Structures are given as C-alpha cells and as structure tokens.
Structure 1
Amino acid sequence: MRATLVQIDVDPAETPAERRGRVAALVRAQAGADLVVLPELWPVGAFASGEFAAEAEPVEGGPTAEAMSAAARDAGVWLHAGSVVERDPAGALYNTSLLFAPDGELAAVYRKIHRFGFDSGEAVLMSGGDRVVTARLPFGVAGLATCYDLRFPEQFRLLVEGGAELLVLCAGWPARRLAHWQVLVRARAIESQAYVLACGTAGTHAGVEQAGHSVVVDPWGEVLCEAGAGEQVLSCELDVGLVGRTRAQFPVLRDRVLRG
C-alpha cells in the first residue's frame, strides 16, 4: 500500500477557510495513494487555544468535514483528515479525528483521550474521549491516536489488542521536543510490532515553533521515510504483511505476562 503524509504549515496569516481550500487541493493531488494522513488541528493550530471556541464545528456537516469528505471522494483515497475542534450537541469541545472512505463517507471518529496542557489550554478547554478506536481498511486495521497520546503506551497496547497493524497518529508537536517525538514514534512501532504513520505540522503558530518531521516507521522500528521541518508531502510504500511476519518471527506480544 502507498501511504502519504501531508505535513501542513499552519500559517497564522492564513484564515481557516483559506487553509481548508488549500489542504483540500493538496489531498486531491494525492490520487493514487491508498491512505492520506493530515496533522492535528490544522484548521486552527494545535496551540492556538484562544481560537478553539470560535472555530469549533460539528463532526457531521462542519466545514472541515464537508471539505475533506469531498477531497477524499475526488481523490479516491482513504483520508485521515487530522483533527478538528469539535463542538458536540451539548456544547462540549473535543479534539476529534475524522477518517473518510474513498466514497467520502465518514468511516471513523476518534476523540483524543489524553489532553495536553496540564492546567491550561487543551487540558482545560476540551473534554477527553473515552474510547480506543480502530478501523478496518482494505489494506489493514488502523488504530487512531493523536499527539500527546504518543506518550501513553497503554493506549497503543489496547489498539494492538484491537487488531491494529497501522498506528496512525496526527500531531501538532513542538520543535523543542523533537527528540522525544523521534524516540517515542519508533518505540511505539517496536513495542507494537506495527507500522506507525505520524503526521505533524510545520511552521509556527500561537508563538510555538512546530517540529515537523512527519515519519513512517516499520514494525522493526526502521524509519522508512521522514520529512524535514517545512511543509512537505511525504509518501512511501508499505508491506502490511510485514506486521504478521514480524509478530510470528519475533513473538514478544505472545509472551506478555503482566496485563492491565
């Protein structure tokens, strides 16, 4: 299968509406890929917490969902559309990822479980999800996660127990912790014996420089392709059958003793 990560520069001079149009065009240009992945909160910026409430939208019928559904359909790709600030019918805000099928139908929704910010930002303004989400795609089972989730290996173990072979992570990771990103992405791949497709943002928004360095890592922890710091479209070929072969050849998952 061919996976494409679109590392978007979240430029504060660009309005969310302008960015939606530009990103939709980028997605349409990826016709021929099997799976396209976008970053976390790219319409507004992961650290632009002061704009979360104003830019919140519903999952069904929201401007980002509508634009990404149409782009997925036009390109004929599975599209992990990154995440949006969702406002649910009760008024609560969530950091919510959307997965679209090649016909434009919404195939899966994941609300970020681990909210970043400690006592500020996302951690205060948003509610946390309570469900681990996997989705069966024609080329393998995808497990969905978002940014700060990367630091919690128990979530990834639950995704693997749910059948995940592809761990798809959207992020808005800061440049000052790039080294953590690079180590943790490889660690999740090695311990899960799964591919990790980790797509982050570029540029600087809300005064926070973004790490970029979107990356695809195989089940042995080998980096297959990695972006730089700027906006970039990153593509590589994956052999999803390698997941099963790796787990059979080196059966560490079978040998677990301590379980939650």
Structure 2
Amino acid sequence: MRATLVQIDVDTEETVADRRERAARLVRAQAGADLVVLPELWPVGAFAADAFAAEAEQAAGGPTAAVMGAAARDAGVWLHAGSVVERDFSQEGGPLYNTSLLFAPDGTLHTTYRKIHRFGFDRGEAVLMTAGDRIATARLPQAVLGLATCYDLRFPELFRLLLDAGAQVLVVPAGWPARRLAHWRVLVRARAIESQAYVLACGTAGTHAGVEQAGHSMVVDPWGEVLAEAGPGEQLLTVELDPARVAATRAEFPVLRDRVLGMPTP
C-alpha cells in the first residue's frame, strides 16, 4: 500500500482558491499511490480563526470537495483531503465544524469526520466550532482507516474506539505549532505503539495567522518505528506500507488481548 503525505505550506499571501488549485495539482501528481493525505484546515489555516466563518463551506458540494474530488478521480487515488471549515447550512447561522473529507478513487465523497476534540482553551476553534459526536472509519481495499484530527492525538481513548472499530491505519491531519514539535513526535509514536497500527500524521508547513507550523509529518509503523519524517518546509512523503504487518505485530506481541478497562461490550 503506497501512501503519500502532502505537507503543504499554508502561505498567507496565497488566496484560498489558488491554494485549492495548487493542492489539486500536487494530488494529481501522485497517480500510482493508493492513498494521499493532506493536512488539517489547509485551505484557510488552522489558526486563522478570524477567517473561519467567511471560508465555511459544505462538506459535500462545497468548493474544496469539488476540487479535491476531481483531483482524486484524475489521479485514481483514495484521497484524505485533510479538513475544511464546514457549516451546517440546513439552518440560518448553522454551526461550524472542523470536518475531514475522504474521497474514493472515482471522486465521490466516501467518509467525513467532524473533529471531536477542539483546540483553543476557550479561544479560536474551541469556541467557534462545534464538536463532532462520532468516530469515523473507512474500509479501503488494503486496510481499514481510522480518522482523527490534530488535537485528537492527545486523547488516547478516541484511538481505542477506532481500534475496536477495526482500524489498522490511523490517519491524522494536523496544523500543529512548531513550539510543541516535541509533543507531536512523542504522541504520534505513542498512538502507533498503543494501537499496534500504522499512523500517518500529516501537518502543515510555513507560518499562518502568526503561528509557525511544525511540519515534520510522520509515518510510524505498528511497532512504533518512524518510517519517514519530513522537515519543516513543504514536502511530500511517500512510504510503502504492509497492512499485514498490523496483524503480525499484534500476534507477535499480543498486548491488546490483556486489556481490562474500557473493553467493548460483546
């Protein structure tokens, strides 16, 4: 299973529409990959809270979905298009969500995930966006994906639920600040080790809304080994994954069978 992480630079001098088209070109160039992953809120910037309302869109049928769906179809790849600021337009002034979009190779929107844990400590995303209320997984031909977003990394109970739902590859788009890069590296590896699953963690590069981004997207295997790590700038990471390694690791070191607390009800 070939996976490519697109660590895109969210340049504040670039319009959202131009960045969509640039991201689409990067995705189209990945024909031959099985899965392509973009970061969190890359159209507007994860810390650009003042622009959230103005740039809000529908998850299905919005401009990002239209451009990314076409790019997935043209490349023939599964595309985790990171996340967008979604508004529920079914009601006037409807709530905003930080919503991830997963497209199938035919360009259709296959799965969405509304971020459950909102970052900000009573500011920004934490007050402007509504929390999601359900986990999301997607069964690809090669493996089952479990979806999470950025700040979710700090809540291992979410990843236990994804594990129990069958996840073998955990996909985590992020807009992680550079000042907490050390936490990023530890948490990404911890989620892989405790879940005995691959983790594909894709962050943004550059500085937006005054916040320097960590970059350093990572691919970690089920044993916790870092297979690839980006630098701080815009970069592509392409890694070959072996989904069978998940089952093999769990059989070789069967720690998950010794779980006692929080086990799913039969």
TM-score, length of structure 1 as denominator length? 0.99
Match of 2:174 among 153, 158, 171: 171
Alpha-carbon distance between aligned partners in 2 of 1:57 and 1:35, rounded to the nearest angstrom: 24
Question: Which residue matches 1:18?
Answer: 18
The DSSP-based 3-state class of the residue aligned with 1:57 is: coil
Aligned to 2:247: 244
Match of 1:117 among 112, 117, 120: 120
Deviations 1:89-108 (A, max 9, x none): 23110000000000001110
TM-score, structure 2 normalization: 0.97
Q: Structure 2 matches for 1:203-222, cutoff 5 A? A: 203-222=206-225
Query: Which residue number corresponds to residue 196 of structure 2?
Result: 193
Report which stretch shifted further, 30-39 or 84-93: 84-93
Unpaired segments ≥5 residues, structure 1: none
Query: Could you tell me which residue of structure 1 aligns to residue 84 of structure 2?
Result: 84
Query: What is the CA–CA distance in structure 2 between the aligned matches of 1:93 and 1:257, rounded to whole Å?
Result: 37
Offset at 1:60? 1.6
Corresponding letter in the other structure for 1:246 = T
1:81 partner amino acid: A
Q: Specify the alignment match of 2:104 in structure 1.
A: 101
Superposed displacement of residue 253, structure 1: 0.7
The CA deviation string for residues 151-175 of structure 1, in whole angstroms up to 9 with x for no partner, is 0000000000000000000000000
Equivalenced residues, count: 260
Q: Report the CA distance between 1:59 and its aligned residue.
A: 1.1
Identity within the alignment, %: 79
Moved over 4 A (4+): none
Q: SS in structure 1 opposite 2:121? A: coil
3-state secondary structure, aligned to 1:83: strand
Where does the alignment leave 5 or more consecutive residues of structure 2 unmatched?
A: none
- Residue 142 (1) aligns with residue 137 (2): no
1:132 & 1:61 partners in 2: Cα distance?
Answer: 22
Distance 2:56 2:247 in 1: 40
One-letter amino acid matched to 1:51? A
